[in-house]
Structure 1
């Protein structure tokens, strides 16, 4: 259970930092980031596998690069479902997914060292 809470907190912090870096990607406050982290986790668990299966031919043709677009769609959908978490379109969602992955990886690396 503590690992789940730590992952949730790292994701919320990563969303807040990404909102600071990426234009068109906004989080109202840290409470909204916490809710957005939960919604993003649910969207990644339920919707993302369906999108990956449906877009498998396109993903194979693009040698996996289309998965960036799938990640952007899941973040954009989480933005639609979460009050206080706004994504201005697919391009900010695409850039946000890349930055979110990098920031989340760095924070996770730092947390694992402590």
Structure 2
């Protein structure tokens, strides 16, 4: 049940982020949910591999490379998916920041469950 709530809230975060960040557009809430799922899958697969390969540089830059990888995953999903468009790197970067802030707010409200 928690997974479904997180998926719906991340879809809402993508939807809100598309309304806040200039250069990001999404056709509707359903498209935003699909985009959120694809961004999460891209970060969990390709992003994970890239983070392992770039660990020494990521360590030296205090996580900046990890953030750039997240931005690139958003751009990849935008390229592969119709209905979700990001115009450039900076739009994707601001969307990544907005998504991180919205997720942090959700985690602060919902708390963490160690089940």
Q: Shorter-normalised TM-score: what interval?
A: 0.7 to 0.9
Residue number in structure 2 paired with 1:70: 69
Gaps of 5+ in 2: none
For 2:36 and 2:108, locate their aligned partners in 1 and report how far apart those are by CA, in whole Å: 18
Cα 1:14–1:63 change in 2 (3 A) is same
- Superposed CA RMSD in Å reads 1.6
Q: How many residues align?
A: 111
Q: Verify the 8 A CA contact 1:10 1:108 in the aligned structure 2.
A: no
Structure 1 runs (4+) deviating above 3 angstroms are 107-110
Corresponding residue number in structure 1 for 2:51: 52
TM-score (ref. length: structure 1): 0.87
What is the 5 A alignment of 1:19-98? 19-98=18-97
Does the C-alpha gap of structure 1 residues 105 and 63 become closer, same or farther in structure 2, counting only changes over 3 Å?
closer
Shift of 1:105: 2.2
Instruction: Measure, in 2, the Cα distance between the counterparts of 1:52 and 1:39.
Output: 18
